[in-house]
Structure 1
Amino acid sequence: MGRAEERRARQRGGHRAAPKRRRSAPEAGSASTAGGAPAAGSTAGAGGKPTAGGKPAAGAKPPKSLIRRIFGWKKILGTFFGVCLLGILGFIGLYLYVDVPEGNAAAQRQSNIYKFSDGTILARDGEVNREIVDLSKVPRKVQLTFVAAENKSFYHDAGVDFKGTARGLLNTLSGKGKQGGSTITQQYVKNFYLNQDQTVTRKLKELVISLKVDREKSKDDILAGYINTSYYGRNAYGIQAAAQAYFRVDAEDLSVQQGAYLAALLQAPSQYDWAVAGPTGKKLVTARWNYVLDNMVEEGWLPKAKRDAMHFPKIMEPKGAPGLDGQKGYLVELANQQLEHQLMAEQGLTQSQAEGAVVENGWTITLNVDRKKQAALEKAVKTRLTSKLDKKKRKVDGDIQPGAVSVDPKTGRIVALYGGQNYYEHYYNNATRKDYQPASTFKPVILAAALEHNATTQDGKPITADTLYDGTSRHQVQDHGRKVGFAPPNEDDVDYDDITVQQAMNKSVNSVFAQMGVDVGMDEVMGTANKLGMDTKGMQAVPAQTLGSMGASPLEMAGIYATFANHGNKVTPSIIKSAEQKDRTVDIPDPIGGPVISRTAADTVTSVLTGVVDDGTAKTSVASNPLRDGQQVAGKTGTSDENKSAWFTGYTPDLVTSVGLFGEDPKTKAHVTMRWATGLPAPGRINGGGYPAEIWAAYTFGVTAKAEFDLDTTQGAAVAPTETPSWTHSPSQTPSQTPSSEPPTSEPPSPSHTPSRTPSHTPSQTPSQTPSQTPSSSAPPTDPATEDPLDPDGDLGQLGQ
Structure 2
Amino acid sequence: MSAKRRADGPAVKTRPKQPVSARQRVLKVLKWLLIAGLVGALFLVAAFAYLYKTTDIPDPNKDFQTQTSFVYYADGKTSLGQYATQNRESISLKEMPQTIQDAVVAAENRSFWTDKGIDPKGILRAAFSNASGGATQGASTITQQYVKILYLSQERSYTRKLKEAILSLKMQRSQSKSQILEGYLNTIYFGRGAYGIQAASRAYFNTDAKNLTLSQSAVLASVLNNPTHFDPANGKASKQDLKERYDYVLDGMASAGNITADQATKAEKRLPKFPKIQAQSQYGGQKGHMLSLVKTELHALGFSDEDIDGGGLRVTTTFTPKAMDAAEQGVLEGKPDGFGDKELHIAVASVEPGTGALRGFYGGQDYLQSQINWSVAGGMVGSTFKPITLATALDNGYSLKDTFDGNSPYEFPDGLTVRNEGTGSDGQGNDYGSAVDATYALEQSINTAYVDMSNSIPDGPDKIAAMANAMGIPPTKATKKYPGIPSTSRDLDSDALITLGKARISAINMANAYATIANGGKRANVHVIDKVTRNGETLYDYKQSTTDAMSEDIAADTSYALQQVVQQGTGKAALALGRPAAGKTGTATNSKDEVSSAWFVGYTPQLATAVMYVRGDGDNQLDGWLPSYFGADYPAQTWTDVMKRDMEGLPVEEFPPPANVDGTAPDSGHDPYTPPPSPTRTAQPSRSPSQTPSETPSETPTETPSDTPSQSPTPTCTVLGGCDSPTPSDSSSPSSSPTSPQPSNPPASHGNHVSGTAAREPFWYAW
- TM-score bracket relative to the smaller structure: 0.5 to 0.7
Summarize the Cα distance change of 1:783–1:320 in structure 2 as closer, same or farther, 3 Å threshold.
closer
Question: Matches of 2:420 and 2:218 in 1, distance apart?
Answer: 51
- How far 1:298 moved relative to its partner? 5.9
Question: Matches of 1:210 and 1:471 in 2, distance apart?
Answer: 82
- Give 2:653's aligned residue: 707
- How far 1:657 moved relative to its partner? 1.5
- Give 1:675's aligned residue: 622
Question: Matches of 1:158 and 1:597 in 2, distance apart?
Answer: 63
**AA aligned opposite 1:313:** K
Question: Matches of 1:260 and 1:114 in 2, distance apart?
Answer: 33
- Give 2:516's aligned residue: 563
5+ long unaligned stretches in structure 1: 1-46, 50-58, 391-396, 455-461, 478-482, 665-669, 733-738, 764-776, 786-801
Summarize the Cα distance change of 1:782–1:586 in structure 2 as closer, same or farther, 3 Å threshold.
closer
- Give 1:597's aligned residue: 549
Summarize the Cα distance change of 1:612–1:231 in structure 2 as closer, same or farther, 3 Å threshold.
farther
- Give 1:637's aligned residue: 586
- Give 2:362's aligned residue: 418
- Give CA deviations for 1:524-558 in whole Å, capped at 9, x if unaligned: 94696278363753579854794767765433333
Kept in 2, the 8 Å contact 1:613–1:636? The answer is no
Summarize the Cα distance change of 1:314–1:561 in structure 2 as closer, same or farther, 3 Å threshold.
farther
Kept in 1, the 8 Å contact 2:72–2:79? The answer is yes
Kept in 1, the 8 Å contact 2:250–2:268? The answer is no
Question: Matches of 2:324 and 2:578 in 1, distance apart?
Answer: 22
Q: 1:353 aligns with which of 289, 304, 307?
A: 307
- Give 1:693's aligned residue: 636
Summarize the Cα distance change of 1:610–1:136 in structure 2 as closer, same or farther, 3 Å threshold.
farther
Matched, 1:554 2:501: no
Matched, 1:656 2:608: yes
**AA aligned opposite 1:228:** N
Question: Matches of 1:121 and 1:579 in 2, distance apart?
Answer: 15
- Give 1:98's aligned residue: 55
**AA aligned opposite 2:350:** S
Summarize the Cα distance change of 1:271–1:310 in structure 2 as closer, same or farther, 3 Å threshold.
closer
Matched, 1:373 2:323: yes
- Give CA deviations for 1:573-615 in whole Å, capped at 9, x if unaligned: 444566666655565323x313243434xx6356436545634
Question: Matches of 1:259 and 1:689 in 2, distance apart?
Answer: 57
Question: Matches of 2:112 and 2:416 in 1, distance apart?
Answer: 62
* Identical-residue share of aligned pairs (%): 27
Question: Matches of 1:701 and 1:663 in 2, distance apart?
Answer: 26
- How far 1:447 moved relative to its partner? 6.6
Greater Cα shift, 160-169 or 209-218: 160-169
Matched, 1:309 2:280: no
- Give 1:134's aligned residue: 92
- How far 1:707 moved relative to its partner? 2.7
- Give 1:296's aligned residue: 250
- How far 1:356 moved relative to its partner? 1.3
Kept in 2, the 8 Å contact 1:412–1:571? The answer is yes
Question: Matches of 1:784 and 1:69 in 2, distance apart?
Answer: 85
Question: Matches of 1:604 and 1:124 in 2, distance apart?
Answer: 42
**AA aligned opposite 1:730:** T
Question: Matches of 2:220 and 2:379 in 1, distance apart?
Answer: 29
- How far 1:699 moved relative to its partner? 1.5
Kept in 2, the 8 Å contact 1:109–1:128? The answer is no
Question: Matches of 1:298 and 1:232 in 2, distance apart?
Answer: 20
- Give 2:285's aligned residue: 326
- How far 1:653 moved relative to its partner? 1.3
Question: Matches of 2:521 and 2:287 in 1, distance apart?
Answer: 32
Please tell me the root mean square deviation across aligned C-alpha atoms, in Å.
5.5
Question: Matches of 2:215 and 2:177 in 1, distance apart?
Answer: 23
TM-score (norm 2): 0.67
Question: Matches of 1:495 and 1:220 in 2, distance apart?
Answer: 82
Summarize the Cα distance change of 1:186–1:781 in structure 2 as closer, same or farther, 3 Å threshold.
closer
- Give 1:251's aligned residue: 209
- Give 1:627's aligned residue: 576
**AA aligned opposite 1:133:** I
Matched, 1:383 2:333: yes
- Give CA deviations for 1:665-697 in whole Å, capped at 9, x if unaligned: xxxxx65625369x525xx7x454443332112
5+ long unaligned stretches in structure 2: 1-13, 422-427, 478-484, 685-702, 724-733, 743-767
Question: Matches of 1:513 and 1:138 in 2, distance apart?
Answer: 71
Larger radius of gyration: 1
- How far 1:186 moved relative to its partner? 3.0
Kept in 2, the 8 Å contact 1:399–1:663? The answer is yes
**AA aligned opposite 2:247:** L
Summarize the Cα distance change of 1:326–1:780 in structure 2 as closer, same or farther, 3 Å threshold.
closer
Question: Matches of 2:328 and 2:228 in 1, distance apart?
Answer: 27
Question: Matches of 2:238 and 2:467 in 1, distance apart?
Answer: 28
Kept in 2, the 8 Å contact 1:266–1:352? The answer is no
- How far 1:316 moved relative to its partner? 0.9
| Structure 1 residue matching 2:152: 3-state secondary structure | coil
Summarize the Cα distance change of 1:778–1:700 in structure 2 as closer, same or farther, 3 Å threshold.
closer
Kept in 1, the 8 Å contact 2:112–2:141? The answer is yes
- Give 1:407's aligned residue: 351
- Give 2:150's aligned residue: 192
**AA aligned opposite 2:549:** I
**AA aligned opposite 1:296:** L
| Structure 2 residue matching 1:133: 3-state secondary structure | coil
**AA aligned opposite 2:622:** R
Summarize the Cα distance change of 1:589–1:782 in structure 2 as closer, same or farther, 3 Å threshold.
closer
Matched ranges for 1:135-154 at <5 A = 135-147=93-105, 149-151=107-109, 154=112
Summarize the Cα distance change of 1:716–1:415 in structure 2 as closer, same or farther, 3 Å threshold.
farther
Question: Matches of 2:65 and 2:737 in 1, distance apart?
Answer: 59
- How far 1:315 moved relative to its partner? 4.2
Summarize the Cα distance change of 1:618–1:166 in structure 2 as closer, same or farther, 3 Å threshold.
farther
